[in-house]
């Protein structure tokens, strides 16, 4: 007879292989336990919170188990350490030998030479993980496969599950972290056993143990036990945030809290981090971006402080850290012009040390953020002109995407750049996919470049029919075809007739009419009169114009007639007033991005003189300034004439 159900559990765990997912299926029973109430521990200088409710936590060895749940009450006190463990001086040879191991197999072989100990298990697992960190991906896969096939690994997992109840808290969390990093499935009983014991100990763990536990949970998929521990950490944090003194611990907690946590808890963590910014090291500033992104919290005061420190010390950050900051900005929808400028200038000043892959990743991320690093684009274009054969097909498509959507003008090098990129694309013509071909041709069309060879390949009946079919299912493919068709019809390149438009392609009607900017419309009517304005014009079924000015009769009445009529509108002239949203411009400027730039180009070819009103600037002006701004945009020559007249009068005086 066993003295308690815990002993029965231990016996069952010893009876089968514990690390293989399909080696043993526990079908008769599953375990259910009451977790202790997660109250604040005195380890962080807090008195226990009274009245916390007890939460029930279920222990699952395999997902989707069926059967009755057996209540397990722990009747014996768990010892954090084994009293029979040998003293440190007798364990020293083991740790010395462990440091000489260079692969997981070496560690497993070494485990046979020394007596068993709870601390040995954690040390061996951690060392096995450490040895794989510096391996190449291929070598790591090979070594891990050898590890899983080694009989010693099964014995090590057996010992980990058997001795988990007697392990110290730090050995528990480090063993769990190492197993997750080594790729042991979290559905195995050894991992679930560690999770179950950690649930019992979580209220007794200090900052360091909780930080390591948070790192493990961050990389684990959702399951009953993982969710229970995440909820435990959230409950602990409510009372322990003010007592956290380690920045690393705080950031680990922020990452494990996740996006589904209550907003007030996220803000408490962010406020605590803000109070500790004077202690931040450069890696802490970078890691804070990732931590806030993991929580899904755009906390601008904290991000501004970290951005300033990163911008001032940008040379201290390697590529992966700088890229992680930019990716976090994209996820948080946070933009800081000083930060982006500092990163792009640093990359330009050290351009030779960056590979093509690294520069392209920077450029693609900047494009996602809507920021145009002009100097970096020029430098990379110059490198492409020298070494275009170094770019892969994926690189070429990414380059075209960035240059077209950021509407970057290479000026004198423009034509040479387009020809060079086109030749590089043609070298991949035999193995390029239909979707990639459409992307490449579409981006080139946005740049007003139409290579005949690529178009002939795209317009082959089989290719075009397949794309038209996919266009009915994919919105992205449909937009690509629509943009290409518009460019072919409106730019009218010198091509054979079969390549001037996409046959059998119907431009879909807009889902709804776009709203007119009434504030701009009222100012325009005040300047030119109601009869001269036509609102809500849709050109080619795609391009929306807020209003079109068709005559100039009222301009002279409202603003006074001038002897020199160079500043008045001509009767046959049509002015298209366009009010794009702020995200149609590159961040920090009024430079139009790709789609807006193409729209302006096409409206000009349709006979319009286009007036672009930056709404984000217009809305912050006074009424008098708004009228002056629109009048200057509509009649720039008249403004110039008036300025010259005033200047001449002042000179005479």
Measure the CA–CA gap between 262 and 98, rounded to whole angstroms. 44
- The dihedrals phi and psi of 69, each to the nearest 5 degrees, come to -95, 130
pLDDT in tens, 62-82: 333 333 222 223 322 333 444
Q: Specify the pLDDT at position 41.
A: 33
Kindly state the average pLDDT of the residues 250-268.
Answer: 85
Q: Specify the pLDDT at position 505.
A: 66
Q: Could you tell me whether strands 574-578 and 608-612 are parallel, antiparallel, or unpaired per DSSP bridges? A: parallel
Instruction: Specify the higher pLDDT residue, 136 or 403.
Output: 403
Lowest mean pLDDT among 242-246, 267-271, 438-442, 472-476: 472-476
Assign 517 a pLDDT band (cuts: 50, 70, 90): confident
> For the chain, what is the radius of gyration of the CA atoms?
33
Task: State the DSSP string of 253-313.
Answer: HHHHH-TTS-HHHHHHHHHHHHTTGGG--HHHHHHHHHHHHHHT---HHHHHHHHHHHHHT
Q: Specify the pLDDT at position 317.
A: 92
Q: Is 243 exposed, middle or buried (0-12, 13-18, 19+ CB in 10 A)?
A: middle
Q: Specify the pLDDT at position 529.
A: 81
Q: Could you tell me whether strands 574-578 and 543-549 are parallel, antiparallel, or unpaired per DSSP bridges? A: antiparallel
Q: Specify the pLDDT at position 462.
A: 85
Q: Could you tell me whether strands 56-59 and 543-549 are parallel, antiparallel, or unpaired per DSSP bridges? A: unpaired
Measure the CA–CA gap between 362 and 356, rounded to whole angstroms. 10
CA atoms within 13 A on the CB side of 222: 4
Q: Specify the pLDDT at position 80.
A: 41
The total of other beta-carbon atoms located within 10 Å of residue 176's CB is: 30
Instruction: Specify the higher pLDDT residue, 641 or 431.
Output: 431
The dihedral through the CA atoms of 456, 461, 464, 467 has a sign that is negative
Instruction: Specify the higher pLDDT residue, 151 or 563.
Output: 151
Assign 361 a pLDDT band (cuts: 50, 70, 90): very high
Measure the CA–CA gap between 294 and 575, rounded to whole angstroms. 48
| Nearest Cα to Cα of residue 160 among 152, 221, 187 | 152
pLDDT in tens, 12-27: 444 444 444 433 333 3
- The segment with the largest mean pLDDT, out of 39-53, 247-261, 321-335, 522-536, is 321-335
What Cα–Cα distance (Å) separates residue 18 from each residue in 5, 151, 166, 630? 19, 12, 18, 75
Please state the pTM of the whole predicted model. Answer: 0.74
């Amino acid at each position: 007879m066993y003295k308690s159900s815990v002993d029965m559990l231990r016996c069952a765990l010893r009876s089968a292989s514990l690390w293989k997912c399909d080696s043993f299926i526990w079908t008769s029973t599953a375990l259910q336990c009451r977790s202790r109430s997660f109250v604040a521990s005195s380890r962080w200088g807090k008195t226990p919170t009274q009245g916390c409710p007890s939460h029930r936590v279920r222990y699952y060895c395999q997902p989707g188990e069926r059967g009755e749940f057996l209540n397990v009450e722990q009747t014996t006190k768990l010892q954090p350490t084994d009293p029979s463990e040998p003293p440190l001086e007798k364990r020293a040879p083991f740790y010395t030998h462990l440091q000489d191991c260079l692969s997981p197999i070496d560690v497993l072989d070494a485990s046979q030479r020394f007596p068993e100990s709870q601390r040995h298990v954690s040390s061996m697992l951690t060392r096995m993980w450490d040895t794989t960190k510096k391996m190449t991906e291929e070598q790591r896969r090979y070594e891990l496969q050898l590890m899983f096939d080694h009989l010693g690994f099964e014995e090590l997992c057996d010992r980990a599950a058997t001795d988990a109840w007697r392990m110290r808290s730090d050995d528990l969390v480090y063993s769990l972290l190492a197993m997750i990093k080594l790729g042991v499935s979290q559905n195995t009983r050894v991992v679930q056993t560690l999770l179950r014991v950690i649930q019992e100990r979580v209220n007794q763990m200090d900052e360091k143990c909780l930080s390591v536990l948070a790192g493990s949970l961050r990389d684990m998929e959702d399951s009953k036990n993982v969710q229970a521990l995440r909820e435990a950490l959230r409950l602990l944090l409510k009372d322990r945030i003010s007592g956290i003194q380690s920045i690393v611990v705080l950031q680990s907690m922020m990452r494990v809290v996740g996006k589904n946590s209550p907003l007030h808890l996220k803000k408490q963590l962010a406020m605590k981090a803000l109070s500790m910014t004077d202690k931040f090291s450069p890696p802490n500033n970078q890691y804070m971006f990732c931590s806030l992104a993991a929580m899904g919290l755009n906390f601008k005061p904290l991000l501004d402080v970290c951005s300033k420190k990163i911008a001032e010390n940008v040379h201290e950050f390697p590529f992966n850290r700088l890229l992680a900051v930019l990716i976090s900005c994209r996820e948080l929808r946070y933009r800081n012009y000083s930060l982006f400028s500092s990163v792009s200038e640093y990359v330009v000043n050290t351009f030779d040390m960056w590979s093509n892959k690294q520069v392209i990743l920077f450029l693609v991320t900047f494009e996602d953020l809507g920021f145009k690093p002009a100097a970096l684009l020029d430098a990379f274009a110059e490198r492409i002109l020298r070494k275009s054969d170094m770019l892969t097909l994926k690189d070429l498509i990414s380059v075209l995407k960035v240059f077209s959507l950021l509407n970057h003008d290479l000026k004198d090098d423009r034509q040479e750049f387009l020809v060079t990129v086109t030749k590089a694309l043609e070298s991949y013509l035999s193995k390029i996919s239909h979707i990639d071909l459409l992307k490449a041709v579409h981006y080139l069309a946005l740049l007003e470049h139409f290579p005949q060879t690529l178009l002939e390949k795209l317009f082959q009946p089989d290719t075009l029919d397949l794309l038209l079919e996919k266009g009915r299912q994919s919105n992205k493919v449909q937009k690509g075809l629509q943009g290409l068709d518009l460019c072919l019809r409106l730019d009218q390149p010198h091509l054979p007739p079969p390549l001037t438009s996409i046959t059998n392609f119907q431009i879909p009607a807009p889902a709804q009419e776009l709203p007119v900017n009434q504030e701009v419309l009222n100012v325009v009517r005040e300047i030119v009169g109601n009869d001269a304005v036509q609102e809500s014009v849709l050109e080619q079924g795609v391009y929306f114009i807020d209003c079109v000015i068709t005559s100039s009769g009222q301009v002279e009445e409202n603003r006074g007639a001038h002897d020199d009529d160079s500043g008045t509108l001509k009767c046959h002239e049509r002015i298209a007033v366009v009010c794009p949203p702020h995200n149609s411009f590159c961040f920090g400027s009024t430079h139009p991005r790709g789609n807006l730039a193409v729209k302006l180009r096409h409206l000009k070819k349709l006979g319009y003189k286009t007036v672009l009103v930056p709404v984000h600037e217009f809305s912050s002006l006074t009424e008098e300034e708004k009228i002056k701004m629109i009048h200057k945009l509509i009649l720039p020559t008249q403004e110039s004439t008036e300025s010259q007249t005033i200047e001449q009068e002042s000179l005479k005086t």
